[in-house]
Structure 1
Amino acid sequence: MPRIATIIATGHYHPERCISNAELAERFTALGKPEVIGKFEAASGIRQRYYAPDDWATSDLALPAAHQALQRAGRRPEDVDLIILGTDSPDYVTPATSTVLQEKLGAKRAGTFDVVCACASFPTALASAAGFIATNPAINTVLVIGAYMMRKLADPTDPMVFFYGDGAGAAVVEPSDKPGFIGTTMKADGAYADAWGIYSGGTAEPATKESVESGRTQVRLMKRYPPEINEDGWPELFERLANENEFTVDDVDQVIFTQVNKRTVETVADKIGLPREKAHTIMETYGYTGSACIPMALDDAIQHGKIKSGDLVVMIGSGVGYNQAATAVRMP
């Protein structure tokens, strides 16, 4: 009997403190950049975002999302066999944030690993979970999480902080003999590895007093990403995934894209012939939550009745580096 990975429950979490665009506009007006917030709002559709307490780490965001997903699944932390956590804003360079979460969650039996593909992390992690379930009879409950706190790794005077919101999303994945996980496809281009990132603190450039003072241990946009990376790349991924798994855009009930720019989502939906109402967005409310945005949007769509039992859902993520991944699932 086949062991097909199936999402049996989802959850998401955002902190309590809401940061409006008006609040950020005051900050950047004082910094002599009054036009920044209005320009970014018009381009992205983001109206607000949420910040966690300053003493929280990424694992603290992941914990309530994990608890919610497990509770909805009727599972306990000690039932979890494997935790896969996607983030590019880890608690530490090492150890893995998933190990920190495992301890906080009390999932004593679970193995763990991190996926570091930025916004492509969740569809990549979901595909990884499907592979483990298909090939390992002892793995029956996998907790897949995306979590993001890039705001704490940014210079608060950098206009790019407009985009960053804190949050986490989670899914409980278990084997079934009915359609669940359908397939995945991926794409990358390391030529853009120097475009956006944190460039000091690893082995290429260990952190020094000078690199800290110059801001190289903080996240920075170094050069502009061409919009066609997503506007052409996402349709290409969708077409490949659909062709490889024998479905069409008319078969799809929702496509969840990386939640950074509403205009891009609408452009891509139009290109692939997807009605815009089938491309659920949350960036208006939660800002850009990076590695967490796809599972957060997935759970939000489920809670709003936009994704129901039997629906075919495609998730397409695009992360710095760059990584891109598209994964299709049939909801149980």
Structure 2
Amino acid sequence: MSKRIYSRIAGTGSYLPEKVLTNDDLTKIVDTSDEWIQSRTGIRERHIAAEGETTGDLGYNAALRALEAAGIEPSQLDMIIVGTTTPDLIFPSTACLIQARLGAAGAAAFDVNAACSGFLFALSTADKFIRSGDARHVLVIGAETLTRIVDWSDRTTCVLFGDGAGAVVLKADEETGILSTHLHADGSKKELLWNPIGVSTGLDQPGKILMKGNDVFKYAVKALDSVVDEALHANGLDKSDLDWLIPHQANLRIIEATARRLDMPMEQVIVTVDKHGNTSSGSVPLALDAAIRSGRVGRGQLLLLEAFGGGFTWGSALLRY
């Protein structure tokens, strides 16, 4: 009888642009204050991509670090999946551009757009390919240059977003890794968080992020409560079994609400929103890499990853690291 195959995280990596924009810097751009931003979001600063620095650049550098940590050569990759809502080009995909730079010729490469849930959607897709036996090594990246589509005159949104990328290398393994993933969407709520510009609309001006923050907050907390319960129930586990919560870094109040729902002290929650802002699909892998490299997350621990984004989209991944 063949043994069960899991997708196991072999290595992680991340990359942040050099430029840092603090809350005090923002006060010179819009009518806001450090106290106002921190009290409502928990954000102190965010990274901004340099002129000419693309989502693919960020993802490529994060990928190099993940591959190095995993001890995997690009030639061993069977697949590259990039979660992003800010691709370099309409086509080819950012994943294809990164594949060429890595020299991973022949590996399947494609992008997934699920806004802030993009990394989890990409991770789930990779997991299915590995479990089916169709891939043994998959590079999964979440990367964004969201500040390119921020309206810098809108103080309710421009304070939230930053640029960055995180990556993981998944490998087929008989040792337990990803236990389950759970993905959902509700397109009927699109106008609560969206960018109304697209290729087929015939509009040629760059789009800007539009958001109704209070509505998004309420839907996000409810959806994340549900997906957390779903992940634990699917695996016959209790919330007390969790070692770490690694959430999407959108807003500290949403993170704290999810932690309370799990009865988890904030000491067991990875928080990077204060330094990164909301990097959309980059946020979960950035937080994961920071937690692993700092020594807080160790092998054998049970992690719950979750995210909520425009679409609406939301999802979770329960895994043994």
Aligned to 2:191, the other structure's residue is in SS state coil
Residue of structure 2 in register with 1:101 after alignment: 98
Within the candidate set 143, 150, 162, 1:165 is matched to 162
How many Å separate the matches in 2 of 1:50 and 1:113?
26
- 238, 245, 249: which one aligns with 1:248: 238
1:323 to 287, 292, 313: 313
Q: Give yes or no for contact 1:6–1:181 (8 Å, CA) kept in 2.
A: yes
Is the CA contact 2:29–2:152 (under 8 Å) kept in the aligned structure 1? no
Task: Tell me what 1:156 maps to.
Answer: 152
With the length of structure 1 as denominator, give the TM-score of the two structures.
Answer: 0.91
Q: 1:181 touches 1:328 (CA, 8 Å); kept in 2? A: yes
CA distance change for structure 1 residues 157 and 170 in 2, over 3 Å: closer, same or farther?
A: same
User: What amino acid is aligned across from residue 185 of structure 2 in structure 1?
Assistant: A
What is the SS of the residue equivalent to 1:90? coil
The separation in 1 between residues aligned to 2:91 and 2:81, in whole angstroms, is 15
The corresponding residue for 1:294 is: 284
From 129, 132, 136, the equivalent of 1:135 is: 132
Given that residues 124 and 327 in structure 1 are in contact (C-alpha distance below 8 angstroms), is that contact kept between their aligned partners in structure 2? no
Deviations 1:87-131 (A, max 9, x none): 111112332211111112222131111111112111221111111
Dislocated runs of 4+, deviation >4 Å: none
* 2:23/2:37 contact within 8 Å kept: no
- In the alignment, is the contact (CA less than 8 A) between 2:256 and 2:266 conserved in 1? yes
Counterparts of 2:222 and 2:213, CA distance in 1: 19
Is residue 289 of structure 2 the alignment partner of residue 306 of structure 1? no
Percent same amino acid at aligned positions?
A: 30
Residue from 272, 281, 285 that aligns with 2:271: 281
For residue 183 of structure 1, the aligned residue among 162, 180, 185 is 180
* Equivalent residues of 2:85, 2:114 under 8 A apart: yes
Measured in 1, the distance between the counterparts of 2:210 and 2:223 equals 23
Given that 1:258 and 1:293 are in contact with CA atoms closer than 8 Å, whether structure 2 keeps it comes out as: yes
Q: Does 1:27 align with 2:29?
A: yes
**2:56 is the counterpart of 1:59:** yes
For structure 2, which runs of at least 5 residues remain unmatched after alignment?
none
Q: CA deviation at 1:4?
A: 0.9
Map 1:33-48 onto structure 2 (within 5 A): 33=31, 35=32, 38-48=35-45
Report the 3-state secondary structure (helix = DSSP H, G, I; strand = E; otherwise coil) of the residue aligned with 1:132: helix
Q: TM-score under structure 2 normalisation?
A: 0.94
Q: Give the deviation of 1:2 after TM superposition.
A: 2.2
Find 2:13's aligned residue among 8, 11, 14: 11
**AA of the residue aligned to 1:219:** I
Q: After TM superposition, give the deviation of residue 36 of structure 1 in Å.
A: 5.8
After TM superposition, give the deviation of residue 161 of structure 1 in Å: 1.8
CA contact (8 A) 1:82 1:142 kept: yes
Residues 239 and 145 (structure 1 numbering): CA distance in 2 closer, same or farther, change over 3 Å?
A: same
Give the Cα separation in 2 of the matches to 1:162 and 1:283: 12
Distance, in Å, in 1 between the alignment partners of 2:34 and 2:145 is 20
Matched, 1:119 2:121: no
Counterpart among 80, 83, 87 of residue 86 in structure 1: 83
CA offsets, 1:254-280, max 9 Å, x none? 111110111221121112212221111
The gaps in structure 1 that reach 5 residues or longer are none
Partner of 1:267: 257
